[in-house]
């Protein structure tokens, strides 16, 4: 039976766990901290329950000792027993990559109970100044924040499982990274140039109609790459002119995985401009003719964007095509003409939002089209563009009142 000893304001629970090879008794201990918000009677019941559960864990071999278990060992347990049960496959993969690339090589061998804020500060400072891929400079503040969030999630679970008394991540100050993290997008003039290049490449047979449709949907509807690749024809209402976003496809372990969105706000219906509806209709007709010509060789189901055998388009395909379009356009320009910037594919989504904001479309509508959980997310991402609109509003008001 577990023994309970009061030590200051806390209680020490000790349970015998057999004997070691030298015949010495093994004692496992845990600390119970009363909740000040509870009554004495409630804390007593909680203490008794804690002691019983702790003894059951020790006797069943499920007890995890932070003094003996490395951060690596516990993080692997966290991935298998917590993350894979409660998080999406893509999120688990993202956590795993961050841990393997940045965290395990530095603190993986340290006992988890011995990991201190100083260890984490050194890790983040090193990330801020030096990259492991050989590129100059350090990692972005966003990458450091994601790494910190992953470690903090591991540590907070360790606290919940009574492996740690507290989370050392709560006492860490992230380094200031002198690096621009501004979003990349096309201006109105650049967008018009891109659409012209897109149409020319299609007319010359350098890209297929489905790629033209893909980039139009990304630009005009602000959809993410994974949301576009996951689209099926049943998600499109060509009569009403809407697209229903209900799933997303990403790479997990190098393989495409289609899943439900992590946030309910990502499930949404987005209106499609009439010109893009016409493109979708033509793409549908072409795809049906091609599908009939393949017969039993068609492997896909009902995806809008496919590989040559009808199976779902591979996630990396759109990016490569997008960059080739920009390169061909820039190569065709005279030396003194401004080139199109080589923005990431996600930049089309940013372009969609910034153009809408520049035309005074309200933030709530923009946020809804993008699938943001809160309008504050939209305002934070596009704060610079919103400031520009705000300056225009001030100018309008000034002109109005000065005219009186």
DSSP letter at 252 equals E
Closest CA to 313 of 328, 303, 326: 303
**pLDDT of 377-404, one tens digit each?**
899 889 878 888 778 778 877 777 875 5
Q: Would you say 293 and 302 are in contact if contact means Cβ atoms under 8 Å apart?
A: no
Number of Cβ within 10 Å of residue 133's Cβ equals: 6
Answer whether residue 180 shows pLDDT above 60.
no
* pLDDT recorded at residue 254: 74
For the chain, give the mean pLDDT. 89
Q: Which of 124-133, 205-214, 284-293, 331-340 has the lowest mean pLDDT?
A: 124-133
Give Cα separations from 139 to 2, 65, 210 (angstroms).
48, 33, 35
Name all domains of the chain by residue range, CATH numbers in brackets: 3-60 (no CATH), 71-171 (1.10.150.130), 188-391 (1.10.443.10)
Answer whether residue 181 shows pLDDT above 70.
no
Q: Write out the two tokens for 368.
A: 């809804």
pTM of the model: 0.66
Q: Where are the alpha helices (DSSP H) in 87-239?
A: 89-98, 104-107, 117-129, 141-160, 188-203, 209-221, 225-229
């Amino acid at each position: 039976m577990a023994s309970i000893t009061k030590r200051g304001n806390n209680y020490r629970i000790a349970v015998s766990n057999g004997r070691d090879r030298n015949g010495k008794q093994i004692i496992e201990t845990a600390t119970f901290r009363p909740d000040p918000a509870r009554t004495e009677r409630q804390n007593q019941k909680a203490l008794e329950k804690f002691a019983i559960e702790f003894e059951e864990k020790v006797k069943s071999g499920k007890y995890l000792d932070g003094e003996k278990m490395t951060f690596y060992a516990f993080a692997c347990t966290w991935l298998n027993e917590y993350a894979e049960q409660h998080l999406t496959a893509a999120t688990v993969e993202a956590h795993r990559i961050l841990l393997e690339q940045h965290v395990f090589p530095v603190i993986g061998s340290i006992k988890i109970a011995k990991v201190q804020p100083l260890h984490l500060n050194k890790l983040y400072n090193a990330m801020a100044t030096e990259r492991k891929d050989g590129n100059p400079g350090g990692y972005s503040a966003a990458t450091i924040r994601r790494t910190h969030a992953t470690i903090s999630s591991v540590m907070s679970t360790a606290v919940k499982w009574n492996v740690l008394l507290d989370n050392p991540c709560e006492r860490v100050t992230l380094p200031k990274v002198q690096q621009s993290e501004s979003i990349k997008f096309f201006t109105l003039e650049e967008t018009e140039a891109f659409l012209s290049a897109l149409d020319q490449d299609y007319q010359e047979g350098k890209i297929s109609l489905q790629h033209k449709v893909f980039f139009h949907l990304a630009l005009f509807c602000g959809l993410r790459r994974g949301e576009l690749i996951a689209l099926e024809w049943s998600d499109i209402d060509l009569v009403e002119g809407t697209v229903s976003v209900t799933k997303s496809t990403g790479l997990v372990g190098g393989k495409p995985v289609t899943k439900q969105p992590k946030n309910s706000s990502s499930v949404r219906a987005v209106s499609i401009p009439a010109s893009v509806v016409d493109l979708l209709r033509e793409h549908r007709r072409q795809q049906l003719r091609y599908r009939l010509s393949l017969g039993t060789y068609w492997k896909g189901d009902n995806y809008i964007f496919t590989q040559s055998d009808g199976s779902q388009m591979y996630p990396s395909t759109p990016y490569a095509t997008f960059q080739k379009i920009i390169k061909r356009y820039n190569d065709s320009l005279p030396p003194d003409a401004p080139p199109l910037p080589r923005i990431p594919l996600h930049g089309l989504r940013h372009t969609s939002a910034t153009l809408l904001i520049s035309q005074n479309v309200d933030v709530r509508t923009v946020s809804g089209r993008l699938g943001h959980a809160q309008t504050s997310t939209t305002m934070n991402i596009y704060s610079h563009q919103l400031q520009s609109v705000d300056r225009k509003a001030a100018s309008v008001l000034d002109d109005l009142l000065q005219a009186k």
